[in-house]
Structure 1
Amino acid sequence: MATHLKDIAAYTGVSIKTVSNVVNGNFARVGPETRAIVLEAIQKLNYQPNIAARQLRKSRVGVLAYAFPDLSNPYFADIGNELTAVAAERESTILLDYTYSDRARELDVVKGLRPHLIDGVILDSHALEIEDILPEVVKQPIVLLGERLFGAPFDHVLINNVEAAYTATAHLLKQGRRRIGAIGVQKCQSEAPSLRLEGYKRALEEAGIEMDETLLINGGNWHRADGASAMHTLLTLENPPDAVFCFNDLMALGAMSVLHAEGYRIPEDIAIIGIDDIEDARYAYPALTTIAPDKKEIARLAVSLLIERIQGERTQSTECINAPFYLCERASTLGRAALKEKYCCRSACGHS
């Protein structure tokens, strides 16, 4: 059954006129909060305007979509928060589009089924191929995030995953760890596992340590339960690791829960490090050492690049830009006493 303006009005509790103004890009009398509510309802109810309505868009509507794959992963929420803040400074609103890592949903975003509603897309894809986002297919400007679609004809913002993983592994080696496990190494659609495994291997090689394949464990969907399962596997080894590098913080938190349950001390028996610097990492027990992508800078770059493309201010060839990252040294690798003597977390990571 087709969705009409009155359905959206009933769903949101605003007037049909307000919904019509949003649909047609007439935002002069619609506040940003109301606009965001109506846009979310339009997406959720799958409203499809007629051709005449599409033609009413003559200029920017001040709305950028952030399409991301996993609502249960706090990292994407962190990025969404930063994007929203940066966009507001540029008089734009961020529309969150949760794709579930589903190819059809991601295609809907890039093909512009709602081009009258958004100016462009910040896309963290987990399902598309480069062929899906060629210029003849997409209908609006795109900036890419994450570890996929390298070489696509759009600006791309991410961190240097090889260097980030190298930094994490080198930190464990610096603490005297020599038998370092890695959780999250499986091949998948994202290139993050292979890139982080490359950095892990390089750090071991430079330290003169031969990599032990039994210490490389699949991380499933990279959630807490996957980290817990992987840690159980590592503890069944005849010679368990003395440290574990988890390829994201969620898996690290799951691994830490197993170590606590099994009576292991962190970091005295087994040290743990992750990547992402989600809020839970700072309040874990002990606090989790992690690699912190500069999320504010990722958001600034993504929004700036996209708006400049939309406005025609950026006409040069597309770029792949690495945002900074920081090592946040915390108690899960240094120990509480050593960390207290050395410095607080803010100075340790160089990044608040």
Structure 2
Amino acid sequence: MATPHGRSIGLRDVAARAGVSVKTVSNVVNGYAHVSPGMRLRVQAALDELEYRPNVSARHLRQGRTGLIALAVPELDFPYFAALANVVVHAAERRGWTVLIEQTSGDPDRERAVLAGIRSLRVDGIIFSPISQLDDELGRRTDPTPMVLLGERAVAAPVHHVSVDNIRAAQEATEHLLGLGAKRIATIGHEPHRRGTGTLRLQGYLEALRQAGITPNAALIAETDGYHREEGARAMRDLLSQGEPPDAVFAFNDLLALGALREAVDQGIRVPEELRIIGFDDIEECRFSCPRLSSVRPDLASLAETALDRITASLRDGLPEPDALESQVRHEVVARESTIGREPA
């Protein structure tokens, strides 16, 4: 709404309508706690009546900020990263930030450029999901822009880190299969020359087997060169060609699992009667595959909120002590038809 003179509604207009000081209106708009409930309701009524909209850009400028946050991810055509970008954008909007998205394609040079700063743009913070080995670069990072790493930290560095407990999550996925009676559980997604998420998920898988008294079989650990559907299908073909094929598969992401599922069905394998399959990430496609795919669901909303909280805190207070830089978000195993079958009508 605008005033009769055509200018935008400001704090002074709201203060005049509510009969309070401009400072009180500012306190309510900025969410300060030391305003009485009655006064807050009075000011809020004036804000609503006048349809006041804060000038976020001006606020950022007064604080010496741009109002821009960068999100750097490997591939936007990965459903997981598309979903992550969606929740980050919406969470940032609620805080008055605009998100710039940088796709690195997993290229080491482009990921190093993110560490050095998002091109020539000035941003208030960076949320970064790297897949390259950037140990030295992280340790030497000099760019003062607050950064939050998503995924696995390869080296101690002065940046926040938010992740899922991949070891525990993978262990629970494998335990789900064990609990259904599986004995020859294969895993798809091991990348022996890359440290990170896959290494931790393999560790969780092996721990679940150890606790179940099962000796790991190297023939059941299928290596891949990526996490795409075709890699999952190829790995599944190799596993099914063995003299004694697996009776269950834990794939390190849902695209691998969906590729494996397609290959198994094409070979006439009944899922889950003859082969149980579970993935990781719980992308939307899991609910529409046939059969519907079981998966590990990370709390993406919490991941986004926590990352933005850490950037906000860094802008306000600087970095905390090193032991306060690590955060983990919740996860859960979502059982569907690919492991437990179709529920009776």
CA change 1:98–1:206 in 2 (3 A) is same
Amino acid at match of 2:86: N
Aligned residues: 289
CA change 1:183–1:128 in 2 (3 A) is closer
- In structure 1, the partner of 2:340 is 334
- In structure 1, the partner of 2:273 is 268
Please give the secondary structure, in 1, of the residue aligned with 2:233: helix
Contact 2:161 2:327 in 1 (8 A): yes
Structure-2 separation of matches of 1:249 and 1:89:
30
Amino acid at match of 1:84: V
CA change 1:108–1:73 in 2 (3 A) is same
Quote the offset at 1:144 in angstroms: 0.4
- In structure 2, the partner of 1:78 is 83
Quote the offset at 1:314 in angstroms: 5.7
- In structure 1, the partner of 2:71 is 66
Structure-2 separation of matches of 1:62 and 1:138:
18
Structure-2 separation of matches of 1:182 and 1:29:
48
- In structure 1, the partner of 2:259 is 254
Residue 320 of structure 1 pairs with residue 334 of structure 2: no
- In structure 2, the partner of 1:96 is 101
Please give the secondary structure, in 2, of the residue aligned with 1:220: coil
1:126-154 CA deviation, whole Å, 9 max, x = no partner?
A: 12523212365324110000124342221
1:23-51 CA deviation, whole Å, 9 max, x = no partner?
A: xxxxx6989xxxxxxxxxxxxxxxxxxxx
Structure-1 separation of matches of 2:297 and 2:112:
30
Which stretch shifts more, 62-71 or 131-140?
Answer: 131-140
Structure-2 separation of matches of 1:135 and 1:184:
31
Contact 2:115 2:141 in 1 (8 A): no
Identity of paired residues, percent? 37
- In structure 1, the partner of 2:27 is none
- In structure 1, the partner of 2:217 is 212
Residue 153 of structure 1 pairs with residue 132 of structure 2: no
Contact 2:127 2:150 in 1 (8 A): yes
Please give the secondary structure, in 1, of the residue aligned with 2:71: strand
**Aligned residues: CA RMSD:** 2.3
Please give the secondary structure, in 2, of the residue aligned with 1:184: strand
Contact 1:115 1:140 in 2 (8 A): no
1:161-219 CA deviation, whole Å, 9 max, x = no partner?
A: 11011000000000011111110112243411221111111111111111111111012
Contact 1:228 1:258 in 2 (8 A): yes
Counterpart mapping for 1:38-187 below 5 A: 59-112=64-117, 114=119, 116-134=121-139, 136-187=141-192
CA change 1:68–1:188 in 2 (3 A) is farther
Structure-1 separation of matches of 2:245 and 2:332:
28
Contact 2:174 2:208 in 1 (8 A): yes
Bigger Rg over Cα:
2
Contact 1:111 1:137 in 2 (8 A): yes
Q: Structure 2 regions of 5+ residues with no counterpart?
A: 1-54
Structure-2 separation of matches of 1:269 and 1:124:
37
Structure-2 separation of matches of 1:150 and 1:74:
27
- In structure 2, the partner of 1:228 is 233
> Normalized against structure 2, the TM-score is what?
0.79
Contact 1:63 1:92 in 2 (8 A): yes
> Normalized against structure 1, the TM-score is what?
0.77
CA change 1:61–1:72 in 2 (3 A) is same
Residue 311 of structure 1 pairs with residue 316 of structure 2: yes
Quote the offset at 1:313 in angstroms: 6.4
Please give the secondary structure, in 1, of the residue aligned with 2:182: coil
1:248-299 CA deviation, whole Å, 9 max, x = no partner?
A: 1000000000011111111001000011001111111111111000101001
- In structure 1, the partner of 2:45 is none
Structure-1 separation of matches of 2:341 and 2:141:
54
Which stretch shifts more, 188-197 or 205-214?
Answer: 188-197
- In structure 2, the partner of 1:16 is none
Quote the offset at 1:94 in angstroms: 1.1
- In structure 2, the partner of 1:281 is 286
- In structure 1, the partner of 2:3 is none
Quote the offset at 1:107 in angstroms: 2.0
